[in-house]
Amino acid sequence: VLDSQYGMYVWPCAVVLAQYLWAHRRSLPGQRVLEIGAGVSLPGVVAARCGAQVILSDSEELPRCLQSCRSSCLMNRLPHVPVLGLTWGRVSPELLSLAPIDIILGSDVFFDPKDFEDILTTIYFLLEKNPHAQFWTTYQVRSADWSIEALLYKWKLKSTHVPLHSFGADKEHLAGSSLPGRHTIEMMIISLAQSEGT
């Protein structure tokens, strides 16, 4: 799939992350949620429909993806959900002026290794501003050689694996969709590593 088109599809990871949000829907009302790399925004839309205060974002360099976010909001009767252009690894006025957040969402953002550090730089910046926030992310296992472990250590972040069976996402079909199919999808929650002395 061409990079410029990547955010124009619902990918299996988005369905799995949306399932996690649905499984935790009772904890979402009032939570401040930011979805990064949102594309068609399935997880963010589910969070908003469950009562979270959601901001959707995708790269400021991909206007079609930002328009896709807006269209998803309109189709789901969520016209007031803000859509921001945030580019991973770039400190922009939009990033600096973000309101406090509790949860960051990202489905299948770890698909190109050249972007991994930019993503984690942005996540670290957001978690430093919001130390109790968490990054909920799903990813497709595409190569045994791809790892973010060293980058997590470098950026003083930790990850917790979330078994798919713990929220009913270990099936080929989710929510009437066959999208997860036979793909190997994993989920983790990334947060700030505990600093020494705390």
**Structure confidence at residue 179 as a pLDDT band (50, 70, 90):** low
Q: Which residue has the higher pLDDT, 84 or 147?
A: 84
| Dihedral, 135, 99, 80, 82 alpha carbons, nearest 10 | -70
Q: Is the pLDDT of residue 171 over 90?
A: no
pLDDT over 50 at 3, yes or no: no
Q: Using one digit for the tens of pLDDT, what is the confidence trace for 108-154?
A: 899 888 999 999 999 999 999 999 999 999 998 876 677 888 999 99
Supply φ then ψ for residue 98, to 5 degrees.
-60, 140
Query: What pLDDT does residue 84 have?
Result: 93
Beta pairing class for 83-85 and 53-58: parallel
Task: Check pLDDT > 80 for residue 9.
Answer: no
| Whole-structure pTM value | 0.87
Please give the average per-residue pLDDT across 82-100, as a whole number. 92
Instruction: Kindly give the pairing relationship between strand 83-85 and strand 185-192.
Output: unpaired
Fold (topology level) of 29-129+142-155: Rossmann fold (3.40.50)
The helix (H) or strand (E) run that includes residue 106 is: strand 103-107
Distance CA 85, CA 98 (A): 12
- Identify the helix (H) or strand (E) that includes residue 63: helix 63-75
Does pLDDT of 5 surpass 70?
no
Residue ranges of the domains in the chain? Answer: 29-129+142-155
What percent of the chain has a predicted confidence (pLDDT) above 70?
85
